[in-house]
């Protein structure tokens, strides 16, 4: 769908942008040290290494770490479930856990996931958001049907400290054309590329908003390394995601990082370490705001929103 643009087209030249002195934030299946610690404790309890063997305690610790996206814990818990290693066998839960670990690149999990087939039913509790994340997500929100009209626009937030002025000015000028808040766009750029216009990821994502080839083609970006084209393409995708997930910043950020299908499959932020950390960074940049207005004409909402966020009954 065409996007209305300003009469005077803002421009952004690659020559005008500095390369950042530091690389983009680390990505990949990196987990906090405390989560890795839970996994190590679980291993000790599972195998009786220095402590009395306790399969139930091991499973509890693996489950806790799995919720934070720790792929090894997801795999180890799935292995215990499918082999009844001190706990009751549950192939259905194991299939979900193997799949989550496989989607994060764990090779042994890929083999097990392939042998078990497509997981069925809702994701198990050990793949749901950690308790503190769920508590934040459960904060009062407007009723689903009234989100576009009632979602509060945040006060103007300061751009990231390392954001080059030409990028900030361009985003502020262009974001309204896509019905987006500039701070959300700048937060995505900061997290994706650290404002490096020539950033290239191992997955072939390019430029300031790290567009993969499929996304660039989907939103008609001819040159992903052209800063203006890249930002416009990223904004077009964000505009679509905002409508698809009805302005829910956590879901939009998760969709931008892991893809909208992963969000739908897991009925929320996918249990990937990278994605959970990515969403945390975006929400922190938005100063606690979790909901923004969106353009409902961009696309119909995801049918899974009824399961992700039940409709608030009218009173």
Taking Cα atoms as reference points, which of 151, 198, 179, 161 lies closest to residue 238? 179
Domain 33-128 -> CATH class? mainly alpha
CB atoms within 10 A of CB 168: 18
Task: Express each pLDDT in 256-309 by its tens digit.
Answer: 999 999 999 999 999 999 999 999 999 999 988 899 999 999 999 999 999 987
Contact 233, 220 (CB under 8 A): yes
- Write the CA distances from 4 to 9, 36, 152, integer angstroms: 11, 48, 23
Q: Report pTM.
A: 0.83
User: Residue 192 catalytic?
Assistant: yes
CB atoms within 10 A of CB 239: 24
Buried b (16+ CB within 10 A) or exposed e, 140-154: ebbeeeebeeebeee
Q: Which class for 25: exposed (0-12), middle (13-18), buried (19 or more C-beta within 10 A)?
A: middle
The domains of the chain are located at: 33-128, 135-308
Would you give per-residue pLDDT tens digits along the chain (315 residues)? 545 544 567 777 776 777 666 655 555 445 678 999 999 999 999 999 999 999 999 999 999 999 999 999 999 999 999 999 999 999 999 999 999 999 999 999 999 999 999 999 889 999 998 865 554 444 444 444 444 434 556 666 788 888 999 999 999 999 999 999 999 999 999 999 999 999 999 989 999 999 999 999 999 999 999 999 999 999 999 999 999 999 999 999 999 999 999 999 999 999 999 999 999 999 999 988 899 999 999 999 999 999 987 643 332
The CA distance from 190 to 300, in Å, is: 28
CB atoms within 10 A of CB 180: 23
157: its two tokens:
């937030």
- Write the CA distances from 289 to 45, 97, 224, 236, 249, integer angstroms: 40, 31, 30, 21, 8
Active-site option among 181, 192, 260, 274: 192
Contact 126, 93 (CB under 8 A): yes
For the chain, give the percent of residues with pLDDT over 90: 74
Instruction: Identify the H or E element spanning 57.
Output: helix 55-67
The CA distance from 234 to 11, in Å, is: 16
Please report the sign of the dihedral spanned by the C-alpha atoms of residue 182, residue 186, residue 189, residue 195. positive
14: its two tokens:
């690659």
Task: Express each pLDDT in 111-147 by its tens digit.
Answer: 999 999 999 988 999 999 886 555 444 444 444 444 4
Is CATH 1.10.530.10 what the domain over 135-308 is classified as, yes or no?
yes
């Amino acid at each position: 769908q065409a996007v209305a643009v300003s009469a005077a087209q803002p421009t952004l030249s690659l020559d005008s942008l500095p390369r950042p002195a530091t690389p983009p934030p680390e990505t990949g299946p990196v987990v906090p040290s405390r989560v890795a610690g839970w996994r190590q404790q679980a291993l000790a309890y599972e195998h009786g290494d220095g402590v009395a063997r306790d399969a139930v305690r091991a499973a509890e610790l693996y489950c806790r770490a799995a919720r934070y996206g720790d792929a090894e814990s997801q795999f180890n818990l799935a292995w215990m479930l499918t082999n009844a290693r001190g706990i009751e066998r549950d192939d259905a839960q194991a299939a979900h856990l193997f799949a989550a670990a496989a989607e994060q690149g764990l090779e042994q999990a890929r083999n097990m996931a392939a042998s078990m087939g497509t997981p069925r039913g809702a994701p198990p509790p050990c793949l749901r958001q950690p308790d503190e994340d769920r508590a934040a997500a459960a904060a009062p929100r407007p009723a689903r049907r009234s989100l576009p009209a009632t979602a509060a626009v945040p006060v103007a937030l300061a751009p990231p400290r390392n954001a080059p002025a030409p990028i900030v000015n361009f985003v502020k000028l262009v974001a309204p054309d896509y019905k987006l808040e500039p701070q959300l766009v700048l937060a995505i750029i900061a997290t994706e590329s650290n404002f490096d216009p020539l950033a290239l990821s191992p997955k072939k994502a390019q430029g300031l908003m790290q567009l993969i080839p499929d996304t660039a083609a989907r939103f008609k970006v001819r040159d992903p390394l052209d800063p203006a084209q890249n930002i416009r393409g990223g904004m077009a995708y964000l505009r679509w995601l905002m409508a698809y997930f009805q302005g829910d910043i956590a879901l939009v950020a998760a969709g931008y990082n892991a893809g909208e299908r992963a969000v739908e499959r897991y009925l929320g932020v996918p249990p990937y370490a990278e994605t959970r950390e990515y969403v945390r960074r975006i929400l922190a940049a938005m100063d606690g705001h979790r909901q923004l207005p969106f353009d409902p004409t961009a696309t119909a909402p995801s049918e899974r929103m009824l399961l992700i966020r039940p409709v608030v009954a009218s009173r």
